[in-house]
Structure 1
Amino acid sequence: MKLVVQAKLVPTPGQASALEATLRACNAAASDVAALARDVRCYRNYDLRRHAYHDIKDGYRLGAQAAQHVIKKVADAYKTLAANLRAGNYGKPGSRRRRKIETSPIAFRWDAAQPYDARMLSWQHDARTVSVWTVDGRLRQVAFTGSPEQVKAVATRPVGECDLVHRDGMWFLYATVEVDEPAVFEPDGFLGVDMGIASIAYDSDGNRYAGTNLNGYRRRQLRLRKRLQEKGTTSARRLLARRRRKEARHAANVNHTIAKTIVTEAARTGRGIAVEKLTGIRDRVRLRKPQRVTLSSWSFHQLGAFLAYKARRAGVPLVEVDPRYTSQTCNGCGHRDKRNRPDQETFICRSCGVVAHADHNAARNIAQRGVEGWGAVNRPHAA
């Protein structure tokens, strides 16, 4: 399987200037190619090369590999745009926002990430340096650093494509490395995980993960964003961008911690992990207005992605189950009724009288569905 490893570059002022000039040239070229692609209605990578390759290679002093990566970056951006339009992420057909996006060419920030391959970038692991292509020539002995795990990964594993990234005044290389994927073991039961808004996650063992603290943090950030948006000054907008990145990093760190804890517990006990299939939840659920902001900032997709790749690295089976009625069905007797949920936290079965935390009951139902789903796929003829 592939993992992305972040290595921080420590360039000298002269090296940093060359890196900045390179990103500016590559992204200016990408914006020109994007406008050309819109004009000629050509969005496929190899077809677009016939229209743009020589012009951007000569006009922006790009190497052959860099020019091809710029064109591919544009083609990938339009492919992503088309997918978002099909999914309705930019509004309904005919809406003002959608019309503007459909008719305007994609534009790239000057510091948007630029892909590098092995011909443009090489690693000197003993010296802890890299050699990087730039528009001002090859930069040699650019120092890099990282955690021991990151440095070991790029030194001992095959490294694929890398992205040169400029963020918050710092330079990074995001390297794709190949790691061994262990065989998935036969699970002895499943650990069910119920994802929610009040509690980010609740497992079938009764463990609650990062509910009150994270939601309180997000409410504080929401109040601060509202004040800054009302102010509307240049410094307020700049602070808004910084706050947005900070909140995203905080949420990602929390999700990493939750996913690691769940996968470690499942591996320790020899169980698989069962999660709800939550695709399209924002389109399905109906919420009161105060709850909509909370749902929109709920990073359940990211948590699910973290669970999936950490489970693969540990060889832990992970299954997605149908989430319907898991919160209304009694795990003890199987009775389903809307009235089993008198409030958000409480589950009281109107058939057998069992009382439980609603999320815990739902997680146990998810675990049971995980067992049934795994058996149906992997042991379809078992007696």
Structure 2
Amino acid sequence: MKLVVQIRLLPSPEQAAALAETLHTCNKAANMAAKVAFERKVFSRARLQRTLYTEVRALGLSAQPALHVIRKAADAYGVLHAQIEAGHLGKNGSARRTKAESKPITFRSNAAHPFDDRCLSWQPDARTVSIWTTRGRMKHLRFTGEASRIKVLTECRQGESDLIHRDGKWFLMATCEVPEAPLNTCPNDWIGVDRGIANLATTSDGDHHQGHGLERYRRRMAHVRAQLQAKGTKSAKRKLKQRARREARHAAQINHIITKIVVADAQRTGRGIALEDLQGIRDRVRLTRHQRASLSSWPFHQLGEFFAY
């Protein structure tokens, strides 16, 4: 099972400046590679590497970071073309799809950038990393994190790590391959879980995980959403998207908390978890107008998927 472990870096001002310069240079080179790929219709890694390797190196990047920049641009186009083929950007000729196809992909100046083992090495015992920058190899860059995360990082890290600058802080997102625990294929009993709106989950043990807080949060967000929709400006539409993502993250966090509590109880007692089948429930019930929004925003499917995960 793949997990991503977030580690916070603690750079000095000089180290932070070097990291920022490295991130900006890599993304500038990625923008150049994406523009050339768009203009020449060259989207494969191999062809783009043959076309741009020398030019990317001339921007001040070493060999391995230059390859990562080219792969970053090629992979971005691969994702875009997959979305178009799957119909996620609308039909041919739609405004959204036309906009995506009419211009090259661009990367923010502080967008995340990958580092492999040739460009980044970890020293977990000393709580430091050694990382390539445009100013040379930076050694003894301190990091911090929870003891459990550092333990997973030390034992299970595999693959690349992404350098991220967010809210004035520096992070490394390390990919870890964690062995999965064996499934309990012969549970000695079951925990029944009833999913609802007032109580998001009620177990057969009598535990109630209430959803009143989520319901109040959704009502408040609906009020804010109505105000922004009434404005109809570009900034209001941008805030609407931000609010929608924030609301989805909030609901997912609550579902994660509930499922972790129930699963931990099932693991401790050697029991399985049984959920009722809610497939097609929206077609089986008749609701008043005021109840429709509550049912439509009811995250019962996500809750079931989190239990399985």
The answer as to whether partners of 1:162 and 1:175 remain within 8 angstroms in 2 is yes
Change (3 A) 1:108 1:269: same
1:270 is aligned to 270
Change (3 A) 1:27 1:251: farther
2:181 is aligned to 182
Instruction: Note the residue ranges of structure 1 that are not aligned, 5 or more in a row.
Output: 310-383
Q: What is the distance in 2 between the residues matched to 1:90 and 1:69?
A: 27
Tell me if 1:218 matches 2:218. yes
May I ask how many residue pairs the two structures share in their alignment? 304
The answer as to whether partners of 1:191 and 1:205 remain within 8 angstroms in 2 is yes
Q: Secondary structure at the match of 2:110?
A: coil
Moved more, 206-215 or 13-22: 206-215
Change (3 A) 1:183 1:246: same
Tell me if 1:167 matches 2:166. yes
2:107 is aligned to 108
Q: What is the distance in 2 between the residues matched to 1:64 and 1:292?
A: 54
The answer as to whether partners of 2:196 and 2:300 remain within 8 angstroms in 1 is no
TM-score by length of 1: 0.66
Q: Which residue type is aligned with residue 260 of structure 1?
A: K
Q: Which residue type is aligned with residue 258 of structure 1?
A: I
Report which structure shows greater RCO (CA 8 Å, sep ≥6). 2
| CA shift for structure 1 position 110 | 1.5
Deviation readout 1:120-161 (Å, 9 max, x if unpaired) = 111122221111111121222211111121122223333431
Tell me if 1:88 matches 2:87. yes
2:11 is aligned to 11
Change (3 A) 1:152 1:50: same
State the identity %.
49
Deviation readout 1:183-230 (Å, 9 max, x if unpaired) = 223133665667676665566767554523113213323433554573
Moved more, 198-207 or 162-171: 198-207
2:123 is aligned to 124
Moved more, 19-28 or 189-198: 189-198
Correspondence list, 1:333-372, <5 A: none
The answer as to whether partners of 1:197 and 1:295 remain within 8 angstroms in 2 is no
Correspondence list, 1:112-261, <5 A: 112-188=111-187, 200-201=200-201, 209-227=209-227, 230=231, 247=247, 249-261=249-261
1:69 is aligned to 68
Instruction: Note the residue ranges of structure 2 that are not aligned, 5 or more in a row.
Output: none
Change (3 A) 1:265 1:304: same
Change (3 A) 1:32 1:274: farther
